[in-house]
Amino acid sequence: MTELLDKTITIAIVDDHGIVRQGLRALLTRPGINVVGEAESGAEAVRLAEQLHPDVMLLDIRMKDGDGLQSLPHIKAVSPRTSVIILTTYANPAYLARAISGGAAGYLSKETDPTQIVRAVITAATGDSLIDRNLLQAALAHMLESSSAEVDGSGDGIGDPGITIADIEPLSERERDVLRLMVQGFANNAIADTLCISLPTVKTHVQHILQKLHVSDRTQAALLAMRLKLVE
């Protein structure tokens, strides 16, 4: 899997169980992936993100010295380009909604097949779809319904409150087409088929969209697009 990557992926592992961190490090230590740090609490995770700015962070939820979901927005604040994957034993829809709202790129169970964890890290780092389409739609709908603030592009409500319309670069018509399908939860290959363009072209559009929206991953791009009404 990793031999096709353009660059080495840097990753940090956050879990309060040493045996879990050791297992994940052993799993992920391979050509194309470099585990650059470990932490055992939310506070340590924030410091690690600020110091190392890893491409990907695996983050547990319930830890002895802090909740991963509470630390997530702070991690994204100090290292916006880090794609955070929640890795937990708690398959809770409310947690999923909080994770996406807080800036997570993905949400995986610790019962997930190890090869899927490796694939998820690569997927997050390369900008492809990580969260199941139906789960993404359900989580986005839940956040829209539960948000007490108006989704008016003023910096309030769901998504990163620090990004406004004035902060982003204009999207081309084709980029808007791609973003619209990203909001609907389409993976890159499905976007290519729908728009009748090549997969490399889709990947290029996705990377340009992430850069223009100042987000680390497509999940956050979808969330921001809904908040700022970038697509219909």
- pLDDT tens for 159-211 read 555 677 888 889 999 999 999 999 888 888 999 999 999 999 999 999 999 99
Asked whether residue 133 is assigned to any structural domain, the reply reads no
Average pLDDT, the chain: 83
* 167 & 206 share domain: yes
Structural domain that includes position 102:
2-126
Contact 153, 165 (CB under 8 A): yes
Q: Are residues 7 and 87 in the same domain?
A: yes
Q: Which of 91, 111, 126 is the last residue of a domain?
A: 126
Say how far apart CA 47 and CA 53 lie, in whole Å: 10
Q: Which tokens hold the place of 115?
A: 């090869």
Q: Are residues 85 and 172 in the same domain?
A: no
Looking at the structure, do residues 118 and 157 belong to the same domain, yes or no? no
13 or 225, which is more confident:
13
User: Which tokens go with 179?
Assistant: 């973003």
Which of 8-17, 141-150, 187-196 is predicted with the least confidence, judged by mean pLDDT?
141-150
- What's the number of domains the chain is made of? 2
Q: Examine residue 191 and state whether it is found in any structural domain, yes or no.
A: yes
Structure tokens at 133: 């389409």
Q: Judge if 202 and 87 occupy the same domain.
A: no
Residue 59 domain-assigned (yes or no): yes
